[in-house]
Amino acid sequence: MLFEETEHKNVWNTGYSKTDFIDPITFDIKRSLREAPPLKPRGMKWIERKVINIENDAVVDTEHQARHKGTHADHKNDLRDSFENNGWLYDEQPILVVWDPKNKKYIVHDGFTRINATNDLGCQHIVADVYQPENPLSLEISKLNLNKVDKPKRGSDAGDITNSALNCINKKYLASDLKSVTDFVNETGSHLSKSRRQTIINDVMNRQGNSKYRVYLVKGVGDHNVSNAAANEFKIPYGGDANYDDTGYFGYITTEKTARMTISNAIKLLKQVLDDIEHKSGAYGHLKELPEVKIFAYFENPGKTPLREQRQNWLIAFQNTLDSIVAICEYMTDSKSNKKFPIAFGGFLPQLIDADPKKKGIKKETTVVDVDGKPFDWKN
């Protein structure tokens, strides 16, 4: 292997009967190569094109997914409809796989949405181009560049490129200096405007490991994955009812400047809880009253503005939104309630990690904090 071996998890799972529209025996590889020649990205050696059995021959692990938000449902549904009506089109680029001699499996690195679409139809096979990368960075760059081809895929967006660059830096595939990051973004984001690429470069430089701020990733593995940090490190509620059994609270973690959409999600969740309580059914039918929803915040790109100022502005906007909702409720009911409003500030995730000489280099923020960066008792 040209790069470190890792343990892979095959997440392929289908409850459908197998009704292949890609027949491994009759599929015309030569025609496919004529109508959709291999793209052969830089740093990648193309080996062959073949039809593979997804369940038996491939490892489909979302750890290798380039898109930072994962599979887009609408796009998957469009592909599924196309496959159902037209089968596999010969002018369609295959998925990208790399042979792993240790596990004797093809590792899927590009084509997750297409696999999910074929999964919905119960298809057991898919067309794949087998590559051998020169190094891990070449593979990561190629995955993003292959997504520039909009047919039938959705091109890589700024979040995909930012997330990939940060992951490559964290894994030591990519140097963290400005030139290396600029070259990476320009190569993988050539389909984006110059100003958009510069924004991505600034974002990566502000958020990567040499920054004084802690980075939280939506995807990936490790403590800096925001869900992992919430569940294992801070032990706070998140994602609605995630960690509810352990904390007794609902919660959301947001990067929004005003948290309005997050508050909207919290209200929808509380409405579901009310319905369950009223009808004594559903997941929350056993509850006697509404539990509190805690809203936590962090900043994806702290930038040069002092963190305390950003937190102060966020908290003011958050409280103004809650005050407006309470005022409307009081107006509609023509009364004031003595009950505590069921949505509340939960604190900020710790982000300032500059060593503090007064504490012998101990990180300044290690737990959920308030505006001033002091530990915050989010339950009270």
> What is the band of 8 on the pLDDT scale with cuts at 50, 70, 90?
very low
Q: How many Å separate Cα 4 from the centre of its chain? A: 23
Q: Give the per-residue pLDDT at 106.
A: 96
User: Is 254 domain-assigned?
Assistant: yes
Q: Say which residue, 139 or 217, is predicted with more confidence.
A: 139
CATH number at residue 42: 3.90.1530.10
Q: Describe the crossing of helices 158-170 and 194-207 by its angle, rounded to 10 degrees.
A: 40
User: Is 374 domain-assigned?
Assistant: no
User: Is 376 domain-assigned?
Assistant: no
Provide the token pair at 259: 């948290």
3-state secondary structure of 327: helix
245 and 202 within one domain: no
322-369 confidence digits (pLDDT tens): 999 999 988 888 888 778 899 999 999 999 877 665 656 566 888 999
| CB of 296 closer than 8 Å to CB of 254 | yes
What global pTM score does this model have? 0.55
pLDDT at 133 over 50: yes
Q: Give the per-residue pLDDT at 254.
A: 94
Q: How large is the average pLDDT for residues 158-178?
A: 87
Cα distance between residue 222 and residue 232, in whole Å: 10
> What is the band of 310 on the pLDDT scale with cuts at 50, 70, 90?
very high
3-state secondary structure of 185: helix
* Residue ranges making up the domain that contains 193: 157-211
Cα distance between residue 100 and residue 115, in whole Å: 19
User: Is 20 domain-assigned?
Assistant: yes
72-113 confidence digits (pLDDT tens): 566 788 888 888 888 889 998 899 999 999 989 999 998 888
- Judged on CB neighbours under 10 Å (0-12, 13-18, 19+), 223 is exposed
| CB of 368 closer than 8 Å to CB of 296 | yes
124 and 67 within one domain: yes
Beta strand pairing call for 362-363 and 355-356: antiparallel
